[in-house]
Amino acid sequence: AARFRMGAKPVSLHSMLAGMLTGNDSWFLITLFTCQLLAVLLVRLPHWLQMSIALAASFVVPDSGITILYAPFQYLPLVVAGIWFSGERLHLLMRIPKAWSWLGFAILAILQWTLIYRLGPVTRWDRAPLGLTGIAMLLLFAQAIRSSVPDHILRSYGEASLAIFLISP
């Protein structure tokens, strides 16, 4: 499948082992797994302390060039926010009228676009706020299109996309 990807490199045993050991290949699954392990350590703490620790780690842990040593800390605030979003809160979100969902989505989309346009590429300093507002934006968008034709199309596309990701090399 390498020929279908941008920037494909020749595969060798050495590059494959190095990529697996550093976490630079398949970084997403390794990062998600490590974030989940870190979240298990934080889950019994008060919410404010969970996020304080996650944010501090995301700002303090240096970029070592080895993905598994720093990327989980960069994304930990987003996982902690996900811990807070229980089924009960999901039901509260579903009660928001569609018009308010569209308005909230539009405001956050404009905010995201403006910040990224002005600040440039995402860095460790703005990853958490942009990620958290991006998640809120997408939740509002999902509520706004709930039970519509685009909702069904996007659900099918997402399920197929996940399946393709999981079976890819």
Q: Which pLDDT value is given to residue 89?
A: 78
**51-78: average pLDDT:** 88
Q: For the segment 4-54, what is each residue's pLDDT rounded down to a tens digit?
A: 444 555 667 777 677 766 666 667 778 888 889 999 999 999 999 999 999
105 in Cβ contact with 50 (< 8 Å) = no
73 in Cβ contact with 31 (< 8 Å) = no
Burial 47-65 (b: 16+ CB within 10 A, else e): eeebbebbbebbeebeeee
State the angle between helix axes of 67-84 and 27-42 in degrees (0 to 180), rounded to the nearest 10. Answer: 60
Q: Which pLDDT value is given to residue 158?
A: 80
Give dist(CA 115, CA 104) in Å, integer.
16
Q: Which pLDDT value is given to residue 3?
A: 46
> Does residue 63 have a pLDDT over 60?
yes
Q: Which pLDDT value is given to residue 4?
A: 43
| Residue 134 CB contacts under 8 Å (≥ 6 apart), including other chains | 108, 112
42 in Cβ contact with 84 (< 8 Å) = no
| Residue 73 CB contacts under 8 Å (≥ 6 apart), including other chains | 38, 57, 58, 60, 61
Q: Which pLDDT value is given to residue 20?
A: 65
Q: Which pLDDT value is given to residue 1?
A: 42
Angle at the Cα of 22 (from 17 to 25), degrees rounded to 5?
70
> Does residue 62 have a pLDDT over 60?
yes
Q: Residue 127 corresponds to which amino acid?
A: R
- 69 or 169, which is more confident: 69
**62-82: average pLDDT:** 86
Q: For the segment 108-159, what is each residue's pLDDT rounded down to a tens digit?
A: 999 988 988 888 888 888 888 888 888 889 889 989 998 899 888 888 888 8
